[in-house]
Amino acid sequence: MIRLIVSLTLLLAVLVAASLAFGDVSLTWRELFDALAGTGEPDPQSAMIVFDLRLPRVLLALLVGVALATAGTITLAIMRNPLAEPGVLGINSGAAAAAMAVIVLVQDPPVGLLQAAGFLGAATMALAVYALAWRSGTSSLRIILIGIGLSALATAFTTLLSAFGDIGDVQRAMIWLAGSVYDASMVKVRLLALWLIVPVALALVFARELDLIRFGDLSARSLGQPVDLVRGLMIVLVTVLSGAAVAACGLIGFVGLIAPHMARRLVGGAHARLLPVAALIGACLVVAADLAGRIILPPVQLPAGIVTGLLGAPFFAYLLWIRRHDHR
């Protein structure tokens, strides 16, 4: 376990360093070290590239990865369904509909409106799903079904806008929907970091409750857990985490689904281990995806959300395939 955490942290550090070094202007490791430590020959250009252009972007990718993976792990536990990811709560479809509406319907939207709309859309949908699924108590199947129904409505709205909106707007909306960290800034990074501290800490505190609720409502209840309360609280955490991630950089799918599955394969089902490992995997995935998106086809920058699909999917397939004799 400790070895795994250390090696994942090292991998993450290498990825971060590589992201800081490589790009349109590549720095040598020596230049990178000098710029970071402020030693050696002061080179204002490489310092500017590292601190103002690349560092915010890398940190944002890292934070978003942590948020998505944590939210995904929680969702997997409370829904008890291998296909469950935060999108099940309508978060993605709500954010997509709100963002599409802002981009297509509002002329020259003010700065920040897109982010606010994304978060509000996600939160509204999650709240509506939970409220409609409440019927003297909740059940994960009812939440899933209500989520499907409401998501279908939101998606119909998005599809309508994308089928008849101005083609330029639709294209910009698709880039946003694909999920990208290109407009990162230090302000955004600090905001997101502050925003994430409480929910991530709470998730860790509730690791044992997650273990319990995963056994099923009946078992959890007979072991003394207030199931509805825990599920409600966890849904709030998921909304806060993935809503913030969506607002920061659009829809980066797949991470929230795959990081928990990978972590489960590595460390088993106890959430005290699962949550940190999944968070590290998520951070590695998004940082690596952003790095790859910048250097595969320069000067074109592929959105990180697309690269997570293109690279993460085959990698996960490889994981499935190499361990075929290992029936866990």
Partner 1 sequence: MTGRRTGRLAMTNGARMATLLVLFCLLVVAAMSATAIGTVTMPFSRIAAAIFQFDGSRDHLLIMTIRLPRVIAAVLAGGALAVAGAIMQAVTNNPLASPDLVGINAGAAFAVVTVMTLFGEGVGDIYVWFSFVGAAIAALVVYALGSLGSVGHSPLGLVLAGVIVGTFLTSLTTAMLIFDQSTLDAVRLWTAGSVTGRTMAQARTVVPFIVVGLVAALLLGRHLTTLSLGADASRSLGQNPVVWRGASVAIVILLAGGAVALAGPIGFVGLVVPHIVRMCIGVDYRWVIPFAALGGALLVVIADMVGRLVFGSQSFPVGVTIALVGAPFFLHLARTRLKGET
Q: Tell me the per-residue interface mask from 131 to 160 with partner 1, x by CB under 8 A, - otherwise.
A: -xx-x-x-xxxx-xxx-xxx-xx-xx--xx
Question: Any residues with CB less than 8 A from the CB of 143 and at least 6 apart, and which?
Answer: 79, 88, 89, 129, 130, 133, 235
CA nearest to 90, candidates 119, 117, 128: 128
Q: Tell whether omega for the bond before 86 is within 30 degrees of 0, i.e. cis.
A: no
Nearer to partner 1, 30 or 323 (CB): 323
Output the smallest distance, CB 192 to partner 1, in A. Answer: 24
Nearer to partner 1, 72 or 199 (CB): 72
**Does the protein bind partner 1 through residue 300 (CB under 8 A)?**
yes
Q: Pick from 40, 82, 268, 269: which binds partner 1 (CB under 8 A)?
A: 82
DSSP structure string for 288-314: HHHHHHHHSSTT----HHHHIIIIIHH
Nearer to partner 1, 103 or 306 (CB): 306
| Piece of 13-21, 23-31, 83-91, 196-204 that binds partner 1 (CB under 8 A) | 83-91
Nearer to partner 1, 9 or 139 (CB): 139
Q: Is residue 259 helix, strand or coil?
A: helix
Ranges within 150-209 binding partner 1 (CB under 8 A)? 150, 152-153, 155-156, 159-160, 162-163, 167-168, 170-171, 174-175, 178
Nearer to partner 1, 154 or 203 (CB): 154
Assign residue 289 a region (left: φ > 0; alpha: ψ between -120 and 50; beta: otherwise).
alpha
Type and span of the H or E element at 54 = none
Q: Is residue 47 helix, strand or coil?
A: helix
**Does the protein bind partner 1 through residue 266 (CB under 8 A)?**
no
Q: Pick from 54, 188, 231, 261: which binds partner 1 (CB under 8 A)?
A: 261
Q: Could you give the CA distance from residue 135 to residue 133 in angstroms, rounded to a whole number? A: 6
Residue 320 to residues 70, 256, 272, 276, 306, Cα–Cα distance (Å): 22, 17, 24, 22, 21
Contacts to partner 1 by CB under 8 A: 80-84, 88, 132-133, 135, 137, 139-142, 144-146, 148-150, 152-153, 155-156, 159-160, 162-163, 167-168, 170-171, 174-175, 178, 216-218, 253-254, 257, 261, 300, 302-303, 305-310, 312-314, 316-317, 320-321, 323-328
